[in-house]
């Protein structure tokens, strides 16, 4: 049986503290950085708002650019009157005459603005190209025109498609399986290209299955934890895809923020790093931790049975390694569960309807297998 098709055998593992000397200081996985003034695109979103918090805590002036299409002002409400934070409601791409003045004087650009989720990317691919590719190009050109020294990009591990090897290294082949994955990978390629051609100091972080408070709760069927927590609040069973033995490298948002801070001080440009725990967890295990009944729905085409980051490179080069294990992360998430009360409650029937395009274009057939 090939490695691609083999059911992963998981061993018990936990994130551990970095063993290399790196930019980490103090306890709790905090990293010092060289950031003085930062532009954070997508700063009102899930990861972006947590990154803004960390930067402000370090005395950094933060300029947030977000069109609030998927982000929320409520994610930044606690920073609304902070003297170091300014928020600009803009969509990328936008005219350079509007963007360059906002970038001028910044030491770093953290480009997190993007459209996410698989199904809408299948249904509206050009919107994803405009935001995830053209928007990235606009940010790169503004950084170049404003002479911003460093540009960090939130890339996606979805670029690997269904990997041939686990854990998956950064030099593994990239085979994006749907438009979201493709557009995020094209954005990554553009960032690396601008670094090579124009000398922009760039770093790309391929994020694995990020979860935590403030994660998306839009009307689009998507991120698993948002779906499960809304179902838990409503007393409904968790909708588990397939047999639930598929595993994901769930990475807590504070660890991802620490990875960006570590990368912000990296002296070398042009690098690409995986950001994950290196410890996949099955969906069945997630439901055990959350507690409650589950119902099974059909496995979807184009999804890997496993995501598993090889994190040796980022640990060696940046001194970063995830510190939050899945049990601790879910405990933090459950403490903030009220933030998911307005999320839609998905059922097997509504999921079937919402994923018709997925099955139509990526193969297979839809239908509910409740158990």
Catalytic residue IDs: 180
Q: Cβ atoms within 10 A of the Cβ of 357, count?
A: 16
Nearest to 322 by CA among 57, 100, 21, 17: 17
Nearest to 110 by CA among 162, 27, 34: 34
Nearest to 198 by CA among 136, 138, 140, 154: 140
Q: Cβ atoms within 10 A of the Cβ of 100, count?
A: 17
Distance in angstroms (rounded) separating the CA atoms of residues 310 and 308? 7
Report the sign of the C-alpha dihedral through residues 223, 71, 204, 116, in that order. Answer: positive
Distance in angstroms (rounded) separating the CA atoms of residues 339 and 233? 11
Nearest to 36 by CA among 107, 142, 110, 119: 107
Burial (CB count within 10 angstroms: exposed 0-12, middle 13-18, buried 19+), residue 72: middle
Backbone angles phi, psi at 150, to 5 degrees: -135, 140
**Secondary structure (H, E, C), 242-307:** CCCCCEECCEEHHHHHHHHHHHHCCCCCCEEEEECCCCCEEHHHHHHHHCCCEEEECCCCCCCCEC
Distance in angstroms (rounded) separating the CA atoms of residues 241 and 302? 13
Q: Cβ atoms within 10 A of the Cβ of 345, count?
A: 14
Residues 6+ apart with CB under 8 A from 143: 103, 106, 109, 151, 200
Distance in angstroms (rounded) separating the CA atoms of residues 297 and 281? 19
């Amino acid at each position: 049986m090939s490695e691609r098709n083999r059911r992963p055998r998981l061993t018990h593992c936990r994130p551990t503290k970095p063993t290399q000397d790196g930019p980490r200081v103090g306890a709790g996985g905090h990293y010092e950085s060289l950031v003085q003034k930062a532009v954070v695109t997508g700063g009102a979103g899930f990861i972006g708002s947590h990154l803004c918090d960390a930067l402000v805590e370090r005395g950094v002036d933060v300029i947030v650019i977000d069109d609030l299409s998927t982000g929320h002002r409520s994610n930044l409400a606690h920073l609304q009157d902070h003297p170091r934070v300014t928020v600009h409601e803009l969509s990328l791409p936008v005219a350079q005459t509007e963007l360059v003045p906002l970038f001028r004087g910044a030491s770093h650009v953290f480009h997190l603005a993007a459209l996410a989720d698989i199904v809408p990317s299948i249904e509206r691919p050009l919107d994803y190209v405009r935001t995830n590719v053209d928007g990235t190009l606009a940010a790169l050109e503004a950084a170049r025109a404003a002479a911003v020294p460093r540009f960090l990009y939130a890339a996606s591990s979805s670029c690997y498609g269904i990997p041939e090897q686990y854990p998956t290294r950064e030099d593994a082949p990239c085979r994006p399986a749907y438009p979201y994955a493709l557009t995020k990978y094209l954005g990554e390629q553009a960032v690396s290209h601008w670094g090579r051609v124009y000398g922009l100091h760039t770093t790309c972080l391929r994020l694995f299955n990020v979860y935590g408070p403030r994660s998306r709760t839009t009307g689009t069927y998507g991120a698993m934890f948002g779906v499960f927590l809304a179902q838990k609040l409503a007393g409904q069973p968790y909708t588990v895809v397939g047999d639930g033995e598929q595993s994901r490298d769930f990475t807590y948002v504070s660890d991802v923020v620490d990875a960006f801070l570590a990368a912000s001080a990296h002296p070398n440009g042009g690098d690409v790093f995986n950001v994950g725990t290196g410890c996949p967890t099955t969906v069945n295990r997630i439901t055990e931790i959350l507690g409650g009944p589950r119902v099974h729905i059909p496995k979807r085409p184009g999804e890997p049975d496993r995501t598993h980051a090889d994190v040796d490179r980022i640990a060696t080069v940046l001194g970063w390694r995830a510190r939050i294990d899945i049990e601790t992360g879910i405990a933090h998430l459950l403490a903030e569960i009220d933030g998911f009360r307005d999320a839609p409650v998905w059922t097997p029937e509504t999921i079937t309807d919402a994923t018709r395009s997925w099955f139509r274009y990526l193969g297979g057939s839809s239908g509910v297998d409740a158990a």
